[in-house]
Amino acid sequence: MAGLSLKSIYKIYPGSEKPSVADFNLEIEDKEFLVLVGPSGCGKSTTLRMIAGLEEISKGELYIGDRLVNDVAPKDRDIAMVFQSYALYPHMTVYQNMAFGLKLRKMKKTEIDERVREAAKILDIEHLLERKPKALSGGQRQRVALGRAIVREPQVFLMDEPLSNLDAKLRVQMRTEIGKLHKRLETTFIYVTHDQTEAMTMGTRIVIMKDGIVQQVDSPTQVYHHPVNMFVAGFIGSPSMNFIDGKLEEKGKDVHFTAEGVDIVIPEGKAKTLREKGYLMKNVLLGVRPEDIHQEPVFLEASPNSIVNSHIDVAENLGHEMNLYLSGVGSKILVARVDGRANIKEGSNIQLAFDMNKIHIFDKETELNVFED
């Protein structure tokens, strides 16, 4: 088992001026489950492939444990990889698929057998060992791919969108299984996904990337509730955070946020920070998550200073909750997530209130979260 250390790692492809990954610094602890997440093209897979040794590191140093591995071949890095394609060896049985890597390493037959059967037991695929991949379902194939990695007993597991080819139900199931596997194996896992739900539910820490640059590294809870910038705030959470373009003004003792159809009071604690940082009379962006916008009468009564009036353009009822697409608050469509049982009609007007303790204010130029700076 080992931790990893990435020191100022860059990936610059020949002929490209802009690095695909720039100045990536991170200490990954032994036994950690780290998730790299970000939109397509953000550099997360490239980072993982550099750790795996499948892409050359243009600049910087990569350590696995205490060993500098920049120039070490993938097979000698003591890692195991599971990819989206999980291409099993079609001409081999499940047993042979799992044993192949060990056979190459000239391990004793008895030890290979022991490891394969142990991994099969963990993954509940003992009854499939004599089958060939074509006779397996998608979920079973995914388990075999995991088994092939487990038997190697590597220092680090690398997984690149391993669940993408599974249907939604299986994905949820395998998500839990991989989580359990991590706890059982007590090994470092590095997992790449563009699915924020996977990132939030699986990772002990999440690295959010954009355009090759790390935006934030933190626990799922911290990232969700304390995003450092607009990108992170907008990327994590579904539906994503609403951003309202407006201005901060001092009215009497209070600090107000005003925008088209909006005049709400900022709570004193947050107002103090805004005053101290010189944001009064400045244009800013207010961020509020859909679930922090309420329509319940009790909440409206308790929050007279954060009420907005809007028009329901679309109401999507998902059963347990309802997403409302609203106009009249700021210049863009606002999304609110309310109780699925609420008596709400599309095309009608509605009064809503923001939970002001959970709002965020972002600098318009730097896009940084003023409260997290």
Partner 1 sequence: MNWDEMKIKLEQILNVQIQLEILHNIDWFMDRNVVVKNNRIYYFLYFEDHSYFTYAIEEATLTNTEKSLIGMTIDANRASHSQLAPEYKQQTALSLRDWIMQQLQLDLDHEHMPLPLLNIPQLSNHNIPILIQTDIADKNIGGDDELLKLLESFYDTKVIFVPLSEKEYLLLCSVELLEEEIEGQGKDLELEIEELLVAFSSSLHEMLISEWVGKCHVSVHYPIVPSESVLFTIKQLREIMELGRNYYINEYVYTPWNLYLEALLDVLPDDSKKHFIQRVFKQVDFVFDPEMKTTLEQFFNTGCNISETAKKLYIHRNTLNYRLDKFKQETGLDVRVFNQAILVKVSLLLYKVTNET
Cβ atoms of 243 and 287 closer than 8 Å: yes
Among 5, 10, 23, 41, binds partner 1 (CB under 8 A): 41
Check binding of 55 to partner 1 (CB under 8 A). Answer: yes
Check binding of 45 to partner 1 (CB under 8 A). Answer: yes
Check binding of 54 to partner 1 (CB under 8 A). Answer: yes
Check binding of 10 to partner 1 (CB under 8 A). Answer: no
Which residues, including other chains, have CB under 8 Å from residue 183's CB and lie 6 or more apart? none
Residues 109 to 168: which contact partner 1 by CB under 8 A?
132-134, 168
Residue 111 DSSP class? H
Location of structure tokens 């890692």: 79
Cβ atoms of 339 and 321 closer than 8 Å: yes
Cβ proximity to partner 1, 41 vs 65, nearer residue: 41
Cβ proximity to partner 1, 270 vs 289, nearer residue: 289
Location of structure tokens 């609403």: 242
- In 224-354, DSSP assigns E strands to 242-251, 254-259, 262-266, 283-288, 293-294, 307-317, 321-327, 334-339, 349-354
Q: The tokens of 144 are what? A: 């075999």
Q: The tokens of 292 are what? A: 């922090």
Question: How far is residue 131 from each of residues 91, 96, 114, 122, 172, measured CA to CA in Å?
Answer: 10, 10, 18, 18, 25
The angle formed by the CA atoms of residues 119, 5 and 179, to the nearest 5 degrees, is 35
Q: How far is the CB of 253 from partner 1 (least distance, A)?
A: 41
Location of structure tokens 């997403």: 323
Q: How far is the CB of 74 from partner 1 (least distance, A)?
A: 5
Binding mask 225-244 for partner 1 (x = CB under 8 A): -------------xx-----
Question: How far is residue 278 from each of residues 172, 248, 274, measured CA to CA in Å?
Answer: 46, 10, 6
Segment near partner 1 (CB under 8 A); pick from 48-56, 115-123, 270-278, 298-306: 48-56
Q: How far is the CB of 119 from partner 1 (least distance, A)?
A: 16
Segment near partner 1 (CB under 8 A); pick from 87-95, 245-253, 271-279, 296-304: 87-95
**Any bridge partners for residue 157, and if so which?**
80, 189
Q: How far is the CB of 90 from partner 1 (least distance, A)?
A: 5
Cβ atoms of 142 and 173 closer than 8 Å: no
Check binding of 44 to partner 1 (CB under 8 A). Answer: no
Residues 322 to 351: which contact partner 1 by CB under 8 A?
325
Residues 267 to 326: which contact partner 1 by CB under 8 A?
314, 316, 325
Examine residue 162 and say whether the peptide bond preceding it is cis (omega within 30 degrees of 0): no
Among 88, 214, 334, 338, binds partner 1 (CB under 8 A): 88
Among 18, 91, 183, 253, binds partner 1 (CB under 8 A): 91
Cβ proximity to partner 1, 91 vs 320, nearer residue: 91
Applying CB under 8 A, the residues found at the interface with partner 1 are: 39-41, 45, 49, 52-55, 73-75, 80-81, 83, 85, 87-91, 100-101, 103-104, 132-134, 168, 194-195, 197, 238-239, 314, 316, 325
